[in-house]
A and B are shown apart, each in its own frame.
Chain A
Amino acid sequence: MEQEKKLTEQESLHLITMMINKAKESYHDTGIGAIMWGAVIAICSLIRLSEVYFEYRLPFDIYLLTLVALIPQIFISIKEKKERKVKSYDDAYMDYIWLGFGICIFLLIHISNNIFGEWGSWANEYRNVTGKSASFRFSEYIAPLFLMLYGLPTFITGAACKFKPMLWGGIFCWICCIISIYTSIKIDLLLTATSAIVAWLVPGIIMEKEYRLYKKEQAQLNV
């Protein structure tokens, strides 16, 4: 590009549009974080489903895997930030949305554990007095709450980044949320695993493919 070339008004407007579009296209997420979280949540839900279905218990809570997954996530975030040549205005908002989502999930786990503790002792007492078990099962109402939360940042990210697989993934989480209100815990876990695959794993794979293609194009341009 020549530095002092004078432009006509039409050329100026065309150049502005072209550069703004190029800037928009420059940001590509690696998709690794989405792939990892989609896989982790799907695996955790399917293992919990197998525990319920085959009536066995692992010596630890399988959902602790989500805490372990935080370590690679921190490294992935640092690496991605270092590699980024451009910082968009959306980046900061997206970081806060996903951080807020993480905080909400851990708060929900804490709240539901507390309610479950209270409810458990009440249900035991009811069984001792009446000889019948309580028909209300609190555990069957946890999954819809999580699915509702899964949908929110996914939907916002999909809409803000104009990335349809994630937008539909967010909507899928909310559909599963509604269904899971009326289904048993086994189906709830299956819906949670499917939501994680549809909302994060699949969009993550698509993002990763697009990122690789972008990198390849960039490498070819720089040869």
Chain B
Amino acid sequence: MFKDLDPILHSQLRLAVMSLLISVKEAEFTFLRETTNATAGNLSVQIQKLKEAGYIDVIKQFKDNYPQTICKITTAGIKAFEEYVKNLQSYLTNTK
């Protein structure tokens, strides 16, 4: 029996964001937007969903008088991502 893939992660933009955040300590919102080529509004919605799931932390602060949003993956996020990749690999191995 295959385990269901996490629906929060099994979506293009959210998976892209999580893949970026798993590789770094923290990243600015602008970096995520530029790297994923997503629109700001779209990305904000997906980040909010990841935050609500407890997969990422979002820190809002000011840098040189401009608002700055920093995103960081949480321990729960790392665990969920690892589980997702594991399930993905077992799918691919068993369907070969």
* Contact digits for A56-99, partner B, Cβ 8 Å, 1 yes 0 no: 00000000000000000000000000100111110110000000
Docked Cα-Cα span, A26 to B19, in Å, equals 14
Interface of B is mostly: helix
Asked if B61 CB lies within 8 Å of chain A CBs, one says: no
Partner of B16, one of A9, A19, A222: A19
Residues of B within 8 Å of A222, CB to CB, are 34
Partner of B23, one of A2, A7, A24: A24
Asked if B79 CB lies within 8 Å of chain A CBs, one says: no
Residues of B within 8 Å of A9, CB to CB, are 5, 88, 91-92, 95
Partner of A15, one of B15, B24, B28: B15
Contact A16 B12 (CB under 8 A): no
Partner of A3, one of B10, B13, B19, B22: B13
Contact A87 B34 (CB under 8 A): no
Residues of A within 8 Å of B35, CB to CB, are 19, 22-23, 26
Contact B31 A85 (CB under 8 A): yes
Q: How many A residues touch the partner, as a band?
A: 20 to 34
Asked if B65 CB lies within 8 Å of chain A CBs, one says: no
Contact B12 A15 (CB under 8 A): yes
Asked if A132 CB lies within 8 Å of chain B CBs, one says: no
Contact A86 B15 (CB under 8 A): no
Contact B24 A2 (CB under 8 A): no
Residues of B within 8 Å of A92, CB to CB, are 25
Chain B residues near A (Cβ < 8 Å): 5, 10-16, 19-20, 22-28, 30-31, 34-38, 42, 45-46, 63-64, 85, 88-89, 91-92, 95
Given A20-B19, A222-B34, output 18 extra A-B contacts at Cβ < 8 Å: A1-B13, A1-B38, A1-B42, A2-B42, A3-B13, A3-B14, A3-B38, A3-B45, A3-B46, A7-B15, A13-B89, A19-B36, A20-B22, A20-B23, A23-B35, A85-B27, A88-B24, A89-B25
Question: Which 3 A-B residue pairings sit nearest by Cβ, starting from the closest?
Answer: A19-B19, A23-B23, A85-B31
